[in-house]
A and B are shown apart, each in its own frame.
Chain A
Amino acid sequence: MSVDKQTVAKIASLARIKMGDEQLETMVPELNNILEWVEQLGEVNVDGVEPMSAVIPNDLRLRDDVIDADPKTAGGRRDDVLANAPAAEHGFFGVPKVIE
């Protein structure tokens, strides 16, 4: 499988990365080289093989059902959460207008 400029433009749009014509042109052969190289995976017989979901067997844990079990991930830290926001207003993240 290979991609053309239109497909790369679609992927870039899905990934929310703005790309100009020139960048798209550069990216097409680069992505095709990589995709062509990974094609070799198709030659492996994977009949009956389960896709890996966890590399080291490990049970998913539930944390204790208490409020603020770990202070580092607890609530009441609004200012910390907003400290690095490019636009924090009135205790919220500020974004451009999304509804008319």
Chain B
Amino acid sequence: MTDLTSLGVKAIRDGVRGGDFTAREVAESFNAAVAAAADLNAFIVTTPDHALAAADAADKARADGKELAAMAGVPIGMKDLFATKGVQTTAASHILEGFTPQYESTVSQNLWDAGAGMLGKLNLDQFAMGSSNETSFFGNVSSPWQKAGSNAAMSPGGSSGGSSSAVAARIAPAATGTDTGGSIRQPAAFTGICGIKPTYGRCSRWGVVAFASSLDQAGPMARSVEDCAIMLGTMAGFDAKDTTSLKMDVPDWEAALNADLKGNKVGIPKEYTMEGTDQAILDSWEQGKAWLKDAGAEIVDISLPHTKYALPAYYIIAPAEASSNLARYDGVRYGLRDLPEGAGLQDMYAETRAAGFGDEVKRRILIGTYVLSAGFYDAYYTQAQKIRTLVAQDFEKAWAQCDVILAPTTPTASFPLGSLNDDPLTMYLNDVFAVPASLAGLPAMSVPATINADGLPLGLQLVGKPFDEQTVLNAGLAIQQRSEFDHAPEKWW
């Protein structure tokens, strides 16, 4: 029998439906793979019983002759940013250690309603702030990938680093991610998997630990474009409990997948060439153009003139929103409380937050507090929000010339853990190509392209018009069919 852990979402769904294997066999295989992969540190807690219960429900539904739901029998990893009822939800922070939600997030509930089960809660950068998965209170996540001839631990990217590591290592067929400024796409690129951030508002933010509310968006991470289309279809949908939720029907993205791009124009933004971008990345971009041309698309040069300002604007807007969102952690209602003997309420707040937040989180709260403070608000925050408008207008103008944009996902391949820790700014530059689409709320996806001379994966990014996930997925599929990327990391864990 095939090793069930080599299968993705679609193969598992179809195999369970067809009776090739049982959902329980699938869940047991993945539970065992998760238990044997502690060296990756991809999970904060594992929930084998949750996966088994969902599997048994799928098997019973099939035995009863019922139609199986969209993800019936598929066990997934859940980023530990989604509130899961009765299962610790930490955002990889000390301040939320032990927090056990009394309710389920909308996105995770949608997945359970579609028959999926949970293998466990996946590690991430603390409060989703980071690009290397080195800011978690629960330790770094290692990528399953290593440079050829080296056993140095590599970064799985961030913030959805537990998700990318688990999916690339075949210990989960798919995982949820969240993307504020590249947190789905950059880790997907680093680990040779697919990940899509839909249009802002497609997936409900209700029950997702908030980082920057105007940017946060959930999405799937999996090893194929088809798997992402299936999973996104179950995650998305209108939710009255999120005021920014889109009241729109969720298209059947899987059914409409079509890699024939005849009649489509693919924009190549000239500003997405940044000093310090690896030659191998630029080469893969050229290859990507050739693939899409081969799929029938017309390649057109476009300009997004405010690209270079997107990242600095993001590093004002996101920390500003974070400083406000994270004000809720006060040691009163949930999470950690640090109350020294004889201390008053104000001291309790300050001590609790000092003990409960990691360095990167504190740094961003301070930046956010500063740019929102009296006297600096207009110079920093208002200016950044105006530049955000300009970045969005750049894209609007581009849509007059093209249907989808092709660009690199990241300027470099993955790097060894610990190698970029000295300077927060260098770390931020990882997201230079990912952030513009976030600021504009656009659907964007990373798909694997190739591996570089070190044997590390490289990704290509597709950015689409608002609500047009379909063209993004279609172009992703066209690349997937031509790259024939089937590289897998060599097992060392």
> A-side interface residues toward B, CB under 8 Å?
1, 3, 7-8, 11-19, 27, 30-31, 33-35, 37-38, 40-42, 44, 46, 49-56, 58, 60-61, 63, 69-70, 72-73, 77, 80-81, 83-87, 93, 95-98
Instruction: Report whether B387 and A46 are in contact in the complex, using a CB–CB cutoff of 8 Å.
Output: yes
List 15 A-B pairs, Cβ < 8 Å. Answer: A13-B350, A16-B327, A31-B370, A35-B370, A38-B384, A41-B309, A44-B383, A55-B200, A55-B214, A56-B466, A61-B243, A72-B103, A80-B103, A95-B332, A96-B348
B90-129 vs A, CB cutoff 8 Å, 1 = contact: the mask equals: 0000000011111100000000000000000000000000
Kindly list chain B residues whose C-beta atoms are within 8 Å of the C-beta of A54: 214, 244
Residue of B nearest to A57 (CB): B466
Kindly list chain B residues whose C-beta atoms are within 8 Å of the C-beta of A35: 367, 370
B219-259 vs A, CB cutoff 8 Å, 1 = contact: the mask equals: 00000000000000000000011011011000000000000
Q: Which of B270-278, B310-318, B407-415 contacts A (4 or more CB under 8 A)?
A: B310-318
Instruction: Report whether B331 and A31 are in contact in the complex, using a CB–CB cutoff of 8 Å.
Output: no
Instruction: Report whether A15 and B337 are in contact in the complex, using a CB–CB cutoff of 8 Å.
Output: no
B353 to chain A, nearest CB (A): 5
**Number of B residues whose C-beta is below 8 Å from A?**
75
Q: Is B333 an interface residue (CB 8 A)?
A: yes
Instruction: Report whether A85 and B424 are in contact in the complex, using a CB–CB cutoff of 8 Å.
Output: no
Bound form: Cα–Cα A1–B121 in Å: 42
Q: Is B379 an interface residue (CB 8 A)?
A: yes
A11: contacting residue among B246, B331, B357, B369, CB under 8 A: B369
Bound form: Cα–Cα A18–B214 in Å: 28
Kindly list chain B residues whose C-beta atoms are within 8 Å of the C-beta of A1: 376, 379
> B-side interface residues toward A, CB under 8 Å?
98-103, 199-201, 214-215, 240-241, 243-244, 246-247, 306, 308-309, 312-313, 315-316, 323, 327, 330-337, 339, 343-351, 353-354, 357, 362-363, 365-367, 369-370, 373, 376, 379-380, 382-390, 392, 423-425, 439-441, 466
Instruction: Report whether B102 and A80 are in contact in the complex, using a CB–CB cutoff of 8 Å.
Output: yes
Bound form: Cα–Cα A45–B98 in Å: 48
Kindly list chain B residues whose C-beta atoms are within 8 Å of the C-beta of A33: 423-425
Which of A8, A17, A34 counts the most B-chain CB atoms under 10 A from its CB?
A17
Which are the 4 A-B pairs with shortest beta-carbon distances?
A51-B385, A55-B441, A86-B337, A84-B334
How many A-B pairs with Cβ below 8 Å? 174
Kindly list chain B residues whose C-beta atoms are within 8 Å of the C-beta of A60: 243
B249 to chain A, nearest CB (A): 15
Residue of B nearest to A45 (CB): B390
Kindly list chain A residues whose C-beta atoms are within 8 Å of the C-beta of B241: 70, 72-73
Instruction: Report whether A18 and B351 are in contact in the complex, using a CB–CB cutoff of 8 Å.
Output: yes
Instruction: Report whether B441 and A56 are in contact in the complex, using a CB–CB cutoff of 8 Å.
Output: yes
Kindly list chain B residues whose C-beta atoms are within 8 Å of the C-beta of A16: 327, 330, 346, 349-350, 353
Instruction: Report whether A46 and B354 are in contact in the complex, using a CB–CB cutoff of 8 Å.
Output: no
B390: contacting residue among A46, A58, A73, A85, CB under 8 A: A46
Instruction: Report whether A95 and B348 are in contact in the complex, using a CB–CB cutoff of 8 Å.
Output: yes
